[in-house]
Structures are given as structure tokens and as C-alpha cells.
């Protein structure tokens, strides 16, 4: 098992724009997956984040992004003042051409890179002021390429709760596997022997084991067959309805966004150019919106 490396700290928290180097920014996803599942003792001890979430019921946004900027070491702008409101209990779909900054945007939301103070708010609180481990439990993320830890599928699913001293029962593990469209009997299989599609679903079960308030999904179904894709989409919608889960999903598929999202956000060259209900995409003015619609 690889040791968990810490995320490279940003050079500054005070400027609006932050600079990253290509080498340090592209960190290993296995380590990032571990980072996301780190101990949540801070949350339980402090109670602040959970309490604020409960008390902040009237806040309109689960996540608010304001003026979010990101610049690569070479100077090129990756995100250019992104504003986005993610309503609580909604599914927001992010589409846009390759390289438009979708993954970079998603990764700012749970501080896989450090946004400027005040640029990302969770339940009205600046994420920069939250305990990062607590934040990552509340805001779970699935990467494009899932990373499995050595050990069984059950070990992977139990990983997050285990870090805070809770051992999920076999029944709980199997329920989570079912939720992620996997055969519960898979629990004892070595996780490193799975197909990418199976690993992606185990990664979903592992993230859900932390009972997050927000799910960040980066093209989660790109390696899945159509039936599994539909089952995962159903799960996202069901979790929204039954648990009020908020989801931000990056997808290449306009059709997928139209099936499950309440809002569609179109990102082009680091800028949000449209935010609208997916059914209204044909009304969008930006030429890229038309292209996506035509090609979907
Ligand atoms: N750590 C990094 N260092 C330098 N450039 C980066 C880094 N991460 C992403 N980029 C660049 O930023 C742009 C947006 O990347 P990304 O957010 O992955 O786009 P998308 O997910 O929309 O395909 C791309 O041009 C990419 O090459
Ligand atoms: Mg991407």
C-alpha cells in the first residue's frame, strides 16, 4: 500500500488566483482516495460542521462558488472566475469540452487544491476554514480512475468508517454494495482484481460508507455498461430523494445529465457560460451548448 502523501499546499491563500506546478498538481489518485477517507474525529469532536449543516436548513445553497480562479504554473488560466450555486438536495450536472476545467472545479470543492478564501462555501461556511478531513467526509468524491486499496472489497468499503473506529457489519457492507449496483457476494473478492467498472462501483460504495452530504462524481459511469450506468443513475436519484444528498456530476453525456440532473452547468475554457435546467438546453445561447445538444 502506498503511503498517503499530503496534498501540496497552495502558495497563497490571500490572492484571488493561485498558481500550481504541473508536476505537483497531478498527484497520485490512490493517495487522494485515501485522503478523502481520512479520519473524521474532528467533525465528531467539534460538532461544528454537522451542527452548522443542521442549523443551516434555511440556506439556499449547499455549495456556493464565487470568483473561483486557478492558474497553471505556465500562467495559463484554468478557471477564470467561476460562479456556481448548487442548491441543497439537487443534482447539478457539469458538461463542457475536454480541458475546460471540469475536474479542476470539482476538486476545489473538497480542497484537493486550495481555493482562495471565500471562493467555495459549504452551507454558507468557507471551506478553507473547515477541518479538511471533516470536509472530505461530508463532501465525498469519485475520480475518473478509481483507485482500490490492497485487500478485499469489504476492506475497501469499511475503510472510511474504520478510520474513525467504526466497523461496518457484513450486512452493512453488502447493503452498500447493492446500493452501488454490485453483487453483495463480491464482498470477499480481492479489490485489485476487479474490472474498472466494478472498481468504480466499489469506490462509490466506499464513499457512501462515509454517509456524505455531497457527492462529487467525475465521469463516474464512463467505464460502465449501459445497464450498470442506469443503475448508478437510479442510485444517485434515489439518494437525493431519500437522504437529500446533493450531487455534482461531471459527464460527457448530455443525455445522462438530462436524465438525472436538476441543473446543467456548461463550462467552456474555465468559465461557466450557461446554468439552466437540462430540458432548456435548446434555449441556451452559447454556441457550445448547441454543439453539445446536436452531438448528444
Ligand atoms: N495540475 C495541473 N497543472 C497544470 N495544468 C493543469 C493541471 N491540472 C489541469 N491542468 C490543465 O487545466 C486544464 C483543465 O483541466 P481539467 O480540469 O482536467 O479539464 P476537464 O476535466 O474539463 O477535461 C487542462 O488544460 C489541463 O491540462
Ligand atoms: Mg476531467
Ligand 1 in contact with 160 (CB < 6 A)?
A: no
Closest residue CA from atom 12 of ligand 1: 78
pLDDT at 251 exceeding the cut of 80: yes
The more confident residue out of 12 and 132 is 132
C-alpha cell at 212: 456524505
104 CB-near residues (< 8 Å, 6+ apart): 70, 78, 79, 113
Residue 185, Cβ density class (10 Å: 0-12 exposed, 13-18 middle, ≥19 buried): exposed
Q: What is the pLDDT of residues 128-158, one digit of tens each?
A: 999 999 999 999 999 988 999 999 999 999 9
Q: What is the pLDDT of residues 78-120, one digit of tens each?
A: 999 999 999 999 999 999 999 999 999 999 999 999 999 999 9
How crowded is the C-beta side of 226, counted as CA atoms within 13 Å?
1
pLDDT at position 144, please?
Answer: 86
Domain count, the chain: 1
C-alpha 28 to ligand 1 mean position (Å): 15
C-alpha 103 to ligand 2 mean position (Å): 4
The more confident residue out of 47 and 236 is 236
Our mutation pick for probing the ligand 1 site, out of 101, 141, 220, 251, counting the most ligand atoms within 8 A of Cβ, is 101
pLDDT at position 33, please?
Answer: 57
pLDDT at position 167, please?
Answer: 97
Query: Is 19 part of any domain?
Result: no
Closest CA to 102 of 293, 288, 294: 288
C-alpha 190 to ligand 1 mean position (Å): 32
- Cα end-to-end span (Å), the chain: 41
140 CB-near residues (< 8 Å, 6+ apart): 36, 110, 207, 208, 210, 212, 214, 215, 216
Query: Is 74 part of any domain?
Result: no
Query: Is 5 part of any domain?
Result: no
User: Range with the lowest mean pLDDT among 42-46, 121-125, 254-258, 285-289?
Assistant: 42-46
Query: Is 80 part of any domain?
Result: no
Query: Is 288 part of any domain?
Result: yes
Our mutation pick for probing the ligand 1 site, out of 25, 75, 78, counting the most ligand atoms within 8 A of Cβ, is 78
Query: Is 92 part of any domain?
Result: yes
pLDDT at position 34, please?
Answer: 59
Q: What ligand is nearest to the CA atom of residue 26? A: 1
Q: How long, in residues, is the chain?
A: 296
Which residues in 265-289 are b (16+ Cβ under 10 Å) and which e? bbbbebbbbbbeebeebeebeeebb
pLDDT at 77 exceeding the cut of 70: yes
Q: Where residue 41 falls among pLDDT bands split at 50, 70, 90?
A: very low
Ligand 1 in contact with 96 (CB < 6 A)?
A: yes
CATH value at residue 259 = 3.40.50.300
C-alpha 113 to ligand 1 mean position (Å): 12
C-alpha 138 to ligand 2 mean position (Å): 22
Ligand 1 in contact with 25 (CB < 6 A)?
A: yes
Q: Where residue 293 falls among pLDDT bands split at 50, 70, 90?
A: confident
Strand partners, 77: 71
pLDDT at position 60, please?
Answer: 80
Query: Is 209 part of any domain?
Result: yes
Q: What is the pLDDT of residues 210-245, one digit of tens each?
A: 999 999 999 999 989 999 899 999 999 999 999 999
- C-alpha 238/C-alpha 229 separation (Å) is 14
Domain that holds residue 192: 24-56+87-109+131-295
Q: Where residue 24 falls among pLDDT bands split at 50, 70, 90?
A: very low
pLDDT at position 234, please?
Answer: 93
Query: Is 117 part of any domain?
Result: no
Q: What is the pLDDT of residues 160-208, one digit of tens each?
A: 999 999 999 999 999 999 999 999 999 999 999 999 999 999 999 999 9
Rounded to 5°, the CA angle 195-178-258 comes to 80
C-alpha cell at 170: 457484513
Closest CA to 86 of 136, 120, 131: 120
pLDDT at 8 exceeding the cut of 50: no
Our mutation pick for probing the ligand 1 site, out of 11, 99, 267, counting the most ligand atoms within 8 A of Cβ, is 99
Amino acid at each position: 500500500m502506498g503511503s498517503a502523501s499530503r496534498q501540496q499546499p497552495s502558495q497563497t491563500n490571500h490572492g484571488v488566483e493561485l498558481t500550481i506546478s504541473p508536476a505537483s498538481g497531478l498527484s497520485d489518485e490512490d493517495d487522494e482516495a485515501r485522503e478523502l477517507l481520512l479520519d473524521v474525529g474532528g467533525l465528531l469532536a467539534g460538532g461544528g460542521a454537522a451542527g452548522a449543516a443542521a442549523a443551516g436548513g434555511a440556506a439556499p445553497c449547499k455549495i456556493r462558488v464565487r470568483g473561483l480562479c486557478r492558474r497553471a504554473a505556465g500562467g495559463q488560466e484554468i478557471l477564470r472566475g467561476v460562479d456556481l450555486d448548487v442548491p441543497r438536495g439537487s443534482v447539478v450536472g457539469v458538461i463542457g469540452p475536454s480541458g475546460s476545467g471540469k475536474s479542476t472545479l470539482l476538486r476545489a470543492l473538497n480542497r484537493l487544491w486550495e481555493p482562495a478564501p471565500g471562493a467555495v462555501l459549504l452551507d454558507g461556511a468557507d471551506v478553507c476554514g473547515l477541518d479538511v478531513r471533516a470536509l472530505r467526509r461530508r463532501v465525498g468524491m469519485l475520480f475518473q480512475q478509481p483507485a482500490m486499496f490492497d485487500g478485499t472489497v469489504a476492506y475497501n468499503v469499511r475503510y472510511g468508517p474504520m478510520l474513525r473506529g467504526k466497523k461496518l457489519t457484513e450486512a452493512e457492507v453488502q447493503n452498500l454494495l447493492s446500493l452501488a449496483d454490485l453483487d453483495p457476494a463480491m464482498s470477499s473478492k480481492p479489490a485489485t482484481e476487479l474490472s474498472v467498472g466494478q472498481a468504480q462501483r466499489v469506490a462509490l460504495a466506499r464513499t457512501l460508507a462515509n454517509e456524505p452530504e455531497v457527492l462529487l462524481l467525475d465521469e463516474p459511469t464512463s467505464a460502465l455498461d449501459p445497464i450498470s450506468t442506469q443503475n448508478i443513475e437510479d442510485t444517485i436519484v434515489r439518494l437525493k430523494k431519500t437522504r437529500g444528498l446533493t450531487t455534482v456530476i461531471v459527464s460527457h453525456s448530455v443525455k445522462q445529465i438530462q436524465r438525472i440532473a436538476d441543473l446543467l452547468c456548461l463550462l467552456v475554457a474555465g468559465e461557466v457560460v450557461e446554468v439552466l435546467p437540462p430540458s432548456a438546453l435548446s434555449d441556451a445561447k452559447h454556441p457550445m451548448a448547441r454543439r453539445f445538444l446536436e452531438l448528444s
